[in-house]
A and B are shown apart, each in its own frame.
Chain A
Amino acid sequence: MNFNKNYFEIFDLPVDYAVDLKLLDDRFLDLQKQVHPDRFAAGTDHEKRLAMQWATLVNTANETLRASLPRAIYLLGLRGVELETNPTLPPGFLMEQIDLREQLESIEEGDGNLEELDSFRRKMQQEINEVQAEFKEALDEDIDKAERLVYQLQFLSKLMTSANRLEEKLLDY
């Protein structure tokens, strides 16, 4: 056992885009129960240091695998693909993004209609699901395509975050 295991191996899960979240959760808790620094509060300094390193690693691995976008990026990383910070995207996709962003702005300006926002978010979620499904297939067949799809997912997830923020604002949280 060493710190060089990949995040899937840490939880003894298959290296795959589809992750059994319930199983991940179970194994995450089982691992933390063994390695958390609180288990070594009365231990030696070296034990405390090791526990701290392990608990940190297990937390990072869990967060990476739990959410679909970080998991996708991590899987690309395992295949040696490093993401670009300013990728080129298909013009059609970019146009669509600008259009979606404008829709969101008009919801905000137009007195902030919650129902409109809800249907906007549902539409977004549907698109995210579709791109995710494409990514899952592309990962094993066409790594370049998988990379392009992750850039799209990044855009979509940013937009989703903006939509969620707007909802918070409208609900005055």
Chain B
Amino acid sequence: MALLQITEPGQAVDPHQRKRAAGIDLGTTNSLIASVRAGVAETLADEQGRHMLPSVVRYTSSGIVVGDEALAEAVNDSMNTVVSVKRLMGRGLKDITTLGDQLPYRFSASESGMPRIETVSGNVTPVEVSAEILRSLVDRASATLAGDLDGVVITVPAYFDDAQRQATKDAARLAGVNILRLLNEPTAAAIAYGLDSGGEGVIAIYDLGGGTFDISLLRLRKGVFEVLATGGNSALGGDDFDRAIAAWIVEQSGYAKPLASEQLRGLLMASRSIKEGLTDNPRIDIDFDRDGVQFKGTLDRATFDDLVAPLIDASIKACLRAVRDAGIELGEIHNVVLVGGSTRVPQVIDKVAEYFGKAPLNTVDPDKVVAVGAAVQANVLVGNKPDDEMLLLDVLPLSLGLETVGGLAEKVISRNTAIPAVRAQEFTTYKDGQTAMLIHVLQGERELVTDCRSLARFELTGIPPMVAGAAKIEVMFNVDADGLLSVSARETSTGTQAGIEVKPSYGLTDEEITSMLQASFEHATKDADQRSLMEARVESGRVIEALGNALAEDGVALLKKSDIQALQQAIEELGRVSEGEDHLAISEGTELLGRASEEFASLRMDAAVRKALAGRNIAEVDKEV
């Protein structure tokens, strides 16, 4: 919008002031971090030149080890080495016991119902384990990019429910990174292929990772990426292929006793390399002799194909459902993108090609493609590409609802609704003089409460006593652009407000996060005040910059000269305060500036809306300039 951008001399964006942004693929098996450098998005390597960081964290009495070094001890020290923690994110102890026999850890429950893994260096939650992986990646990026990151985009499976998304955000908070956005993995992949710049059409993203399967259908139109439908299975992935091979080996070997965790770990690792070998070879010779399980023989591709065919078929069935949900015909799909290491399995490529009727795209490394796309998006969101027109419109992955009488779940917002979204539902009291009401928030597609995921339970109190049915309780669901839910409730007939914010049942409480943060500061022997000062300065810097940019862009067009001067003075004032050491004064000043600029922000938003509706005209004017 060249006409509207008025830049004062000396205020132009200095190319050296580019923000440091990164995209993080926080995977089940491996994690990656990528960044846009010199216009190219690429994954960042560690000092040894390794790009993939195994998502493995080992707790020892002398410290925490992350990545390959932790993986190396995974078999010998399985109790203290946490692998595939992503599967535990946002899960309660009960969910985890159903994953049960596959996990070698000892669990105990925390106050909020979140499971803790018992290790030699104390009990840790899945959120803390994920934070360690994030910290390791962020440190790598800070070293490579020579400075702290201004913001990150973290990817999650499109199928992640609210609790899982919230847990991922908590992990980022715990790791001390500024999270710009949670991005669905398949969407990131489409961005990585540059499909956002390649015209219009429907794109299918088939993402078979280590632990999860996602199918997403995206529509691209006028530079807007719209998620038409998502589907998949949060417990289907390449790990299941390994398990199928492991079970086959055990069956062939005639070993009949139950497997101990070390045995299983060793078998799975061997199975994994057999699976990978079968990608380029028609058969693999096996000579397995470990922990009492003995097998010598050959696994050929045809037998392997038979072993995993039901798993791949299950993924194709999810594709069918998503295509139907999107309300499109198969022929409308222009591109099919393969994501995830498991899409290297030849039978996967064949069956995907067969179902969609076209050869899928797989030229970008399927392990790196998500991180690369996330880096591109992070670069846009952090403000390095102000002219970029790309926008992602997401949908809710799973329906949200409430428990009603008889243990039934009533949907309030159905899945695939465009987000952010808001819905209100009205309820009433069923007893005379009732002053409280229990509200049980659920997520899932099934009709029975017991088949849905319980996100939160809370009690609305302070309802004025009335006859049954007279009170009007409005329960409001708010879903933000990341797909995170907050619920509030109020009594409307008398105007009595009794709102409450909801945290997912298996999330961390704010107190837990605060105490974990404190513990980690002590661990890093950083002075808490020093930390507060730093944080206050970062925040004030952010507001100063955001407002400065806004003034440069729209100040002259929307404000009186005196208003501009007043805001500029306020900016300078906050700049002076920020140079001081008083973090409370800085925070206060930041808030004051924020409030002083609210009117301007509203004016800008209105102008933006007007511009959108006048879109065509301005675009044409632009071309002439």
Q: What residues make up the interface of A, taking CB atoms closer than 8 Å to B?
A: 1, 11-12, 25-27, 29-39, 41-47, 50-52, 54-56, 59-60, 62-63, 168, 173
Report the bound CA distance from A1 to B602 in whole Å.
10
B615: interface (CB < 8 Å): yes
Residue from B418, B550, B597, B611 in contact with A63 in the complex, judged by beta carbons closer than 8 Å: B418
Contact A36 B393 (CB under 8 A): yes
State the 7 A-B residue pairs at the shortest beta-carbon distance, nearest first. Answer: A34-B608, A1-B606, A41-B381, A34-B612, A30-B612, A42-B383, A59-B418
Contacts of A60 in B (CB 8 A): 421-422
Contacts of A31 in B (CB 8 A): 609, 612-613
What are 23 contact pairs spanning A and B, CB under 8 A? Answer: A1-B606, A1-B609, A12-B613, A26-B222, A33-B223, A34-B612, A35-B609, A36-B481, A37-B420, A38-B181, A42-B542, A43-B550, A44-B597, A44-B601, A46-B597, A46-B601, A50-B605, A51-B605, A54-B605, A59-B421, A62-B418, A63-B417, A173-B317
Q: What residues make up the interface of B, taking CB atoms closer than 8 Å to A?
A: 151, 180-181, 221-224, 226, 317, 320-321, 324, 381-383, 389, 391-393, 417-422, 478, 480-481, 542-543, 545-547, 550, 594-595, 597-598, 601-602, 604-606, 608-613, 615
User: Which of A11, A26, A36 has most chain B Cβ within 10 Å?
Assistant: A36
Contacts of B419 in A (CB 8 A): 59
> Taking CB as reference atom, which chain A residue is nearest B226?
A29
Residue from B324, B389, B481, B601 in contact with A37 in the complex, judged by beta carbons closer than 8 Å: B481
Contact B615 A30 (CB under 8 A): yes
Contact B594 A45 (CB under 8 A): yes
Residue from A26, A34, A43 in contact with B611 in the complex, judged by beta carbons closer than 8 Å: A34
Report the bound CA distance from A55 to B612 in whole Å.
13
Q: How far is the CB of A162 from chain B (nearest CB, A)?
A: 14
- From known contacts A1-B610, A168-B324, infer whether A32 and B422 are also in contact, taking CB-CB under 8 Å: no
Contact B612 A27 (CB under 8 A): yes
Contacts of B389 in A (CB 8 A): 33
Contacts of A62 in B (CB 8 A): 418
Report the bound CA distance from A59 to B481 in whole Å.
11
Contacts of A173 in B (CB 8 A): 317, 320-321, 324
Contact B612 A33 (CB under 8 A): yes
Contacts of A11 in B (CB 8 A): 613
Report the bound CA distance from A50 to B605 in whole Å.
8
Report the bound CA distance from A33 to B382 in whole Å.
16
Contacts of A43 in B (CB 8 A): 546, 550, 601
Report the bound CA distance from A34 to B393 in whole Å.
12
Q: A34-B609, A50-B602 are in contact. List 14 more A-B contacts (CB 8 A).
A: A1-B606, A25-B221, A31-B612, A37-B420, A37-B480, A41-B151, A41-B382, A43-B546, A44-B546, A44-B547, A46-B594, A46-B595, A50-B601, A173-B321
Report the bound CA distance from A56 to B151 in whole Å.
24
Contacts of B597 in A (CB 8 A): 44, 46
Q: How far is the CB of B229 from chain A (nearest CB, A)?
A: 12
Report the bound CA distance from A29 to B392 in whole Å.
10
> Taking CB as reference atom, which chain B residue is nearest A41?
B381
Contact B601 A38 (CB under 8 A): no
Contact A27 B613 (CB under 8 A): yes
Report the bound CA distance from A60 to B605 in whole Å.
18
Report the bound CA distance from A55 to B542 in whole Å.
23
Contacts of A25 in B (CB 8 A): 221
> Taking CB as reference atom, which chain B residue is nearest A167?
B324
Q: How far is the CB of B419 from chain A (nearest CB, A)?
A: 7
Contact B392 A38 (CB under 8 A): yes
Q: How far is the CB of A12 from chain B (nearest CB, A)?
A: 5
Q: How far is the CB of B501 from chain A (nearest CB, A)?
A: 15
Contact B421 A38 (CB under 8 A): no
Contacts of B381 in A (CB 8 A): 38, 41-42
> Taking CB as reference atom, which chain B residue is nearest A54?
B605
- From known contacts A26-B222, A42-B542, infer whether A52 and B481 are also in contact, taking CB-CB under 8 Å: yes
Q: How far is the CB of B29 from chain A (nearest CB, A)?
A: 29
Report the bound CA distance from A41 to B181 in whole Å.
8
Contacts of A26 in B (CB 8 A): 222
Contact B609 A54 (CB under 8 A): yes
User: Which of A38, A54, A60 has most chain B Cβ within 10 Å?
Assistant: A38
Q: How far is the CB of B463 from chain A (nearest CB, A)?
A: 22
Contacts of A45 in B (CB 8 A): 594
Contacts of B601 in A (CB 8 A): 43-44, 46-47, 50
Contacts of B550 in A (CB 8 A): 43, 47
Contacts of B383 in A (CB 8 A): 41-42
Q: How far is the CB of B469 from chain A (nearest CB, A)?
A: 13
Report the bound CA distance from A47 to B421 in whole Å.
17
Report the bound CA distance from A125 to B543 in whole Å.
54
Report the bound CA distance from A45 to B478 in whole Å.
17
Contact A42 B181 (CB under 8 A): no
> Taking CB as reference atom, which chain A residue is nearest B604?
A47
Contacts of B181 in A (CB 8 A): 38, 41
Report the bound CA distance from A121 to B276 in whole Å.
48
